[in-house]
């Protein structure tokens, strides 16, 4: 049995389920590379037979040397570095797997990857990843039966399980709070009834709608995520009049965030009173500056917030004010100053909104297809994934990102995925073998015809 050498770049929270799956085969020799050696060693200790090394992702020579020594590189480092890894892989004719969206910088290497005869498999986590697998499956089935996809609507979210959604956002951070908040500034584009709709960052929270998921126990709302318009081509559904891909949150999240946006909490401007050498400042003093008053009493601040955010007749008024009290906004607690209001706010969120030891997360992903069958009759189909994290084990998010990534890596190593170039899972030839192995791990979407 020939050894297969696997390089894992990054040791973040989705890495463990990925390593666990690949480490089942004794011929897989896994090197875990992280900027901090201690992080790589901590992960390596869980899986005997794996090796830990340190690697500076900004050092192209270091990355190239590591890539050259392995058969495949799994890149779980920030997406801006993937092109660097792909470049090294092309030079040494090695394969690459990532869970990230294919960026223009990555796509530039498509032709060279084909010429080198290597597979660069991307978008194989949860979203993107599992969503593609089951979207393409249903679309191909409908097309093969002579039908048309008139609407494709897909929403996905990683949330605390309902019993652990015990804060005003109904949300907890398993990674950087800053990244989550800045994503709320992105413009969403989607196709609705034949028209391209563009929702700018500030209006994004207003655009959220209650979702009819068929699971009344979940009070979900959804809003558009990035640009859904290329999916007519990506999914080969030029006939679709509506194409929306979006993000799921619990009801109340969007109203609370909207109030915070109005108050300026997403501001990335450096402010003197948040500088490291500035004197201590409390949250009530910060709020007073924001709403333009010298009075830091809770009553005055709340009245000013109600006026500024137009909450008087808002159904969520009390929830929003309770949330601000929970965050400590009306208190004399000193803030963790970090230069900007956004980063100062993130310090408080990271303090108060981590997952507790025995808490679990939930991943919910649902596609809804409005279909016109060959005979002209209408049909609605859904594909739904509901996955909970294991208390004391992996989170649902880590599992649903890490395991598909590992399966794709194994299929590339075993010569079952042989397409070359910079790829995403958009064809049944690539997708079916991944789905088959995914379902053996009890991960998959439940398909229903309504």
Query: Within a 10 A sphere around the Cβ of 198, how many other Cβ atoms?
Result: 12
Q: Where are the beta strands (DSSP E) in 99-230?
A: 119-121, 148-160, 188-192, 195-199, 209-210, 220-224
The Cα–Cα gap between 222 and 245 comes to 9
Nearest to 434 by CA among 402, 411, 400, 401: 411
127 is catalytic: yes
HSE toward the beta carbon, residue 316, CA cutoff 13 A: 16
Count the alpha carbons within 13 Å of 362 in the hemisphere toward its beta carbon. Answer: 18
- Residues 207, 240: contact at Cβ < 8 Å? no
Residues in the chain: 450
CA distance 75 to 88: 12
Query: Would you say 73 and 5 are in contact if contact means Cβ atoms under 8 Å apart?
Result: no
What DSSP letter does each residue of 83-134 carry, written as one string?
A: HHHHHHHHHHT-EEEESSPPPHHHHTTHHHHHHHT-EEE---BBTTBHHHHH
Catalytic residue among 3, 56, 71, 127: 127
Tell me how far apart the alpha carbons of residues 42 and 290 are, in angstroms, rounded to a whole number: 43
The answer to whether residues 199 and 187 touch, using CB atoms and an 8 Å cutoff, is yes
The CA distance from 305 to 364, in Å, is: 33
Token readout for 275 is 């500088």
Look at residues 68, 39, 72 and name the one whose alpha carbon lies nearest to residue 53: 39
Query: Three-state SS across 263-295?
Result: CCCCCCCECHHHCCCCCCCEHHHHHHHHHCCCC
Q: Judge contact between 148 and 367, C-beta under 8 A.
A: no
Distance between CA atoms of 251 and 355, rounded to whole angstroms? 20
Q: Which residues are catalytic?
A: 127
């Amino acid at each position: 049995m020939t050894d297969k050498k696997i390089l894992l770049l990054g040791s973040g929270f989705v890495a463990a389920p990925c390593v666990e799956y690949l480490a089942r085969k004794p011929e897989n020799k896994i090197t875990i590379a992280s900027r901090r050696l201690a992080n790589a060693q901590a992960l390596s200790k869980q899986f005997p037979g794996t090796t830990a090394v340190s690697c500076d992702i900004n050092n192209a020579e270091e990355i190239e040397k590591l890539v050259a020594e392995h058969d495949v590189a799994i890149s779980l480092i920030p997406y801006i570095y993937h092109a660097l890894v792909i470049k090294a892989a092309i030079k040494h004719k090695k394969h690459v797997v990532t869970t990230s969206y294919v960026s223009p910088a990555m796509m530039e290497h498509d032709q060279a990857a084909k010429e080198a005869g290597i597979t660069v498999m991307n978008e194989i986590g949860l979203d993107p990843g599992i969503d593609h697998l089951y979207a393409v499956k249903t679309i191909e089935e409908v097309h093969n039966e002579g039908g048309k996809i008139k609407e494709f609507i897909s929403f996905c979210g990683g949330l605390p399980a309902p019993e652990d959604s015990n804060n005003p956002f109904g949300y907890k951070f398993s990674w950087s709070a800053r990244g989550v908040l800045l994503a709320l500034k992105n413009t969403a584009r989607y196709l609705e009834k034949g028209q391209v709709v563009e929702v700018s960052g500030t209006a994004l929270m207003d655009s959220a709608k209650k979702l009819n998921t068929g699971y009344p126990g979940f009070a979900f709302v959804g809003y558009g995520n990035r640009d859904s318009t290329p999916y007519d081509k990506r999914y080969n559904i030029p006939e679709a009049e509506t194409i929306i891909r979006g993000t799921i949150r619990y009801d109340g999240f969007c109203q609370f965030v909207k109030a915070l946006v109005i108050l300026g909490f997403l501001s990335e401007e450096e402010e003197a009173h948040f500088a490291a050498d500035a004197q201590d400042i409390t949250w009530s003093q910060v709020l007073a500056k924001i709403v333009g008053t010298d009075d830091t009493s809770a009553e005055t601040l709340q009245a000013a917030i109600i006026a500024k955010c137009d909450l008087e007749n808002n159904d969520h008024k009390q929830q929003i004010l309770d949330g601000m009290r929970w965050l400590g906004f009306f208190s004399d607690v000193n803030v963790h100053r970090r230069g900007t209001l956004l980063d100062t706010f993130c310090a408080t969120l990271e303090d108060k909104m981590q997952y507790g030891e025995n808490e679990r997360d939930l991943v919910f992903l649902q596609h809804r297809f409005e279909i016109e069958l060959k005979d002209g009759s209408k049909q609605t189909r859904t594909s739904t994934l509901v996955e909970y994290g294991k208390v004391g084990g992996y989170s649902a998010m880590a599992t649903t990102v890490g395991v598909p990534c590992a399966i794709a890596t194994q299929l590339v190593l075993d010569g079952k995925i042989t397409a070359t170039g910079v790829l995403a899972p958009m064809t049944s030839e690539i997708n079916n073998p991944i789905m088959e192995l995914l379902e053996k791990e009890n991960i998959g979407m439940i398909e229903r015809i309504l």
